[in-house]
Chains A and B, each alone.
Chain A
């Protein structure tokens, strides 16, 4: 079955530590996205990538970094510069970044600070 796989489902970060969230898709989609979800605040875009080796900042990119070395993979690193990292992180993909494109979402990673 095609889809998006996020791992791990739960992740804990210590103070000053960088952590990386994995996102893999086998849908052959060009575009991939990272969203952050906080209770009562909806989803906010962190980064997105329209093609391999290229990515753009979203609305809340500070304290995060990404890479897109392979079409299938779009890992997100939450750096120590992100002072409030506790949230639910959702990865998504679409065929392209056209206006009407449907987004496919992974099942998310819950990141908490120890």
Chain B
């Protein structure tokens, strides 16, 4: 079956530091890959996505590249802000259905 593995958190950074959150996946087909973000007390919002190998998704300074050879979709940002503090979820969608498989989430805490 499909699965998504994320690095455990919390990830604690100072403002303007470089961020990487690792995500690897297992899928039977050719999945689409997503990063969602959840701010405290809220639902999830789509941050970025990539639909095929070597695609790069980007939004709000965050980037992730679909690496089929390593089955990875790591999230990166060059300079984090306090307002980036949230829980980040990696997810995949496979087989033509939007019933996403989510990772367990990684909490990011950014201090001033």
Binding site for B on A (CB under 8 A): 4, 6, 31, 33, 35, 40-45, 48, 58, 90, 92, 94, 96-103, 105-108
Contacts and interface: CB of A to CB of B under 8 A. Distances in A.
B98 A43 contact: no
Nearest to B92: A99
A44 B89 CA distance: 12
Contact of A45 (B46, B49, B95, B99): B99
A92 B36 CA distance: 13
B107 to A, nearest CB: 10
A101 B95 CA distance: 13
Contacts of B31: 99
B32 A41 contact: no
B10 to A, nearest CB: 11
B42 A99 contact: no
Contacts of B99: 33, 45, 48, 58, 97
B41 interface: yes
A94 B98 contact: yes
Contacts of A42: 4, 89, 102-105
A100 B89 contact: no
